[in-house]
Amino acid sequence: MSSVQSFPPIVGDGSRVLILGSMPGRASLLAGQYYAHSRNAFWPLMEALLGIDCALPYARRCDALGAAGIALWDVLQSCTRSGSLDSAIVESSIVSNDFAALLRQRRTIAGIFFNGAMAERSFKRYVLPDLGAAAATLPRIRLPSTSPAHASLTFQQKLEQWRQILPLLRS
């Protein structure tokens, strides 16, 4: 078991969509980058949806996300777990990030999308009860996890569901 910490949010002044994971996996933590595992579909999905080249250096991909109106963060600030799987998180160790502060600072955020079921469950349990009324009413949609551990859907099936972020980016 080890204690793990999430990264700061990637958020721009005009962010419209907030995409939330649960907690970075081992490869991401070692690299210091969101979705660093070579088989994670997140960056390929962003390339397919927004034209953000997966081969760009990480900092440029993050800048491109911000320019596209996407903010990225994790529901959990810290937790204890063994390995990289969400199922290995020790429930009693969970500390959530401060979403009330983020949403006060970034009033342009118009919707929250969860990268998988654990992110959604954790948000509902640890964040939603403490959010103000306005933030609590933001649309929230669970998308299929981009993790390589979630292999029940093909890339194309995930892509079709992830297209749900596009209308909020265009509004």
Distance from C-alpha of 70 to C-alpha of 62, rounded to nearest angstrom? 9
> Tokens for 165?
């972020």
In sequence order, the β-bridge partners of residue 114 are 20, 142
Residue 32: CB atoms within 10 Å: 10
Q: Exposed/middle/buried for 134, CB within 10 Å: 0-12, 13-18, 19+?
A: exposed
**DSSP string of 18-30?**
EEEESS--HHHHH
Residues labelled catalytic: 40
